[in-house]
A and B are shown apart, each in its own frame.
Chain A
Amino acid sequence: GAVVSQHPSWVICKSGTSVKIECRSLDFQATTMFWYRQFPKQSLMLMATSNEGSKATYEQGVEKDKFLINHASLTLSTLTVTSAHPEDSSFYICSASIVRYTEAFFGQGTRLTVV
């Protein structure tokens, strides 16, 4: 149980285009989902926390207009990187919790390369 699927696993896009990443909880309903970015040899940086049906709460320094997060249902959250640039290239990972402040389960991550 507690499976989170993230899609795509990797994506290459041209600078200036937008990329959408999906995060789905397959066997549970997730009231809270989290989005992270991880650069090589660094830890997970929390980008935003989203609750189903409400606006995401972004961490300080994360541009909400650039990283659009939608949590439209209890099993799906999406992250859209708009007008991507090479510096946005990173490993993006989502996680989902059944109940907030309890354990979260991670998707497999999406490796984004902007060329």
Chain B
Amino acid sequence: QKEVEQNSGPLSVPEGAIASLNCTYSDRVSQSFFWYRQYSGKSPELIMSIYSNGDKEDGRFTAQLNKASQYVSLLIRDSQPSDSATYLCAVSDMRFGAGTRLTVKP
């Protein structure tokens, strides 16, 4: 069974801090990885996709991929209360982890 694992949290950080979200996957042949954000009662929205080892930055968000370790992470810099949501990791075949609930406290 192909699996995507995330720390379910909840993760709480103060406003302005860096939030670090982690994800591991079991299928070694996965080549594409995605981070989504889901607000309560809404559908997920894409934050970032990453295909190559290393870091990819987009504004306050940085995705990091290590295929050898089967690990992908998302860093959120200068966290804002509006970043409070559930963050979902997905792999190539669009299977999702359980999600990590993030709360940013003012």
> Could you tell me which A residues sit within 8 Å of B by CB distance?
6, 34, 36, 42-44, 46, 49, 93, 95, 97, 101-109
- Interfacial chain B residues near A107, Cβ < 8 Å: 43
Contact among A6, A49, A93, A109 with B93 in the assembled complex (CB-CB below 8 Å) = A49
A67 to chain B, nearest CB (A): 17
Q: Are A101 and B32 in contact (CB under 8 A)?
A: yes
Q: Across the interface, which residues of A come within 8 angstroms of B31, CB to CB?
A: 101
When each residue 16-52 of chain B gets 1 if its CB lies under 8 Å from chain A and 0 otherwise, what string results?
0000000000000001101010000011111001000
The answer to whether B94 has its CB under 8 Å from any CB of chain A is: yes
Chain A residues with CB below 8 A from B44, complex form: 44, 93, 95, 106
Partner of B43, one of A93, A97, A101, A103: A93
CA–CA, A36 and B94, complex, Å = 10
When the two chains form their complex, are residues B95 and A46 in contact, meaning their CB atoms are under 8 A apart? yes
CB <8 Å contact, B94 and A49: yes
Residues of A within 8 A of B90 (CB): 104
**Interchain CB contact under 8 A, A109 and B42:** yes
The answer to whether A101 and B92 have CB atoms under 8 Å apart is yes
Q: Shortest beta-carbon distance, B2 to chain A, in Å? A: 10
- The complex places the Cα of A76 from the Cα of B34 at a distance, in Å, of 23
